[in-house]
């Protein structure tokens, strides 16, 4: 059969899916997520919006939000470029396989298996595009909420605080979708190992998870926030 998998390929693909789903769950839903850099920054998004209430002129807030939108737009465009380049691999399978065959530990694959692997990469980049594009759109909604926040003298004004919480929740949602799109890019790098061999595939997937976990929970990433409470003040 053209789509028959060997046992190492089944194990490698299962490990890839388990690593992606498991890491995403641990980062977004497990108790461990409270210690991640993403969750800590979510708290500072709310602090940012509460500070926004105190400013009569919100040019600074608009500039920050614009930079977040530009980042989402850049990665969405990059996803389309990567998607187009990946689709072109369907037409150049012979040349690509010849190039890969020169690598150590490379294993040959049928045209059907090659096309299926390429299709998997297409799905990953398409997923990333939708996440980045939706994150960009959500940031637009957040800009509207910021514009709808009333200018008040009292920062504890209930209507202003409610709008700040809504804007913060919208920005946090956009950040979550952006993070998922970026995570797809990282796992796409690990997925490339499958084109060499299932063993390289498992190693590259493991390496990607290790790098991402280190950036989320490592001391180097969290050091700038050391001694700060969630409201941005120095903790006792």
State the residue for tokens 């693909």.
13
Let me know if residue 18 belongs to a domain: no
* pLDDT given for residue 176 in this prediction: 94
Task: Count Cα atoms within 13 angstroms, Cβ side, for 170.
Answer: 21
Q: Is residue 81 part of a domain?
A: yes
Q: Is residue 197 part of a domain?
A: no
Domain of 158, in residue numbers: 37-190
Across the strands, what pairs with 228?
234
Least confident of 72-76, 94-98, 132-136: 94-98
For residue 73, being part of any structural domain is answered with yes
Q: Where residue 114 falls among pLDDT bands split at 50, 70, 90?
A: confident
| Number of domain units in the chain | 1
Query: What is the average pLDDT across 148-161?
Result: 80
Position 229 scores a pLDDT of: 57
pLDDT category, 235, cuts 50, 70, 90?
A: very low
Reading the block at residue 233, the tokens are 């003040």
Place of tokens 């920062």: 155
Rounded Cα distance between 183 and 213, Å, is 11
Give the three-class secondary structure for 29: coil
pLDDT at 154: 67
Q: Is residue 134 part of a domain?
A: yes
Whole-number average pLDDT of the chain: 85
Q: Pick 151 or 233 by higher pLDDT.
A: 151
């Amino acid at each position: 059969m053209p789509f028959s998998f060997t046992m190492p390929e089944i194990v490698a693909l299962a490990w890839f899916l388990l690593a992606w789903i498991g890491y995403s769950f641990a980062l977004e839903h497990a108790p461990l997520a409270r210690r991640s850099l993403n969750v800590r920054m979510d708290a500072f998004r709310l602090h940012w919006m509460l500070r926004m209430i105190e400013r009569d002129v919100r040019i600074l807030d608009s500039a920050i939000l614009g930079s977040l939108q530009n980042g989402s737009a850049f990665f969405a465009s990059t996803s389309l470029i990567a998607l187009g380049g990946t689709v072109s691999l369907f037409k150049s399978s012979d040349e690509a396989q010849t190039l890969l065959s020169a690598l150590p530990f490379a294993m040959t694959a049928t045209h059907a298996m090659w096309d299926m692997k390429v299709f998997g990469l297409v799905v990953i980049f398409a997923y990333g595009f939708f996440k980045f594009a939706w994150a960009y759109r959500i940031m637009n909604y957040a800009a509207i909420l910021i514009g709808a926040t009333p200018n008040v003298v009292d920062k504890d004004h209930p209507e202003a605080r409610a709008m700040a919480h809504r804007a913060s929740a919208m920005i946090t949602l956009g950040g979550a979708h952006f993070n998922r799109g970026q995570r797809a890019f990282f796992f796409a790098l690990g997925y490339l190992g499958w084109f060499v061999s299932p063993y390289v595939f498992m190693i590259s997937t493991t390496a990607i998870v290790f790098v991402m976990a280190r950036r989320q929970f490592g001391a180097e990433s969290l050091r700038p926030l050391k001694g700060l409470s969630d409201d941005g003040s120095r903790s006792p």
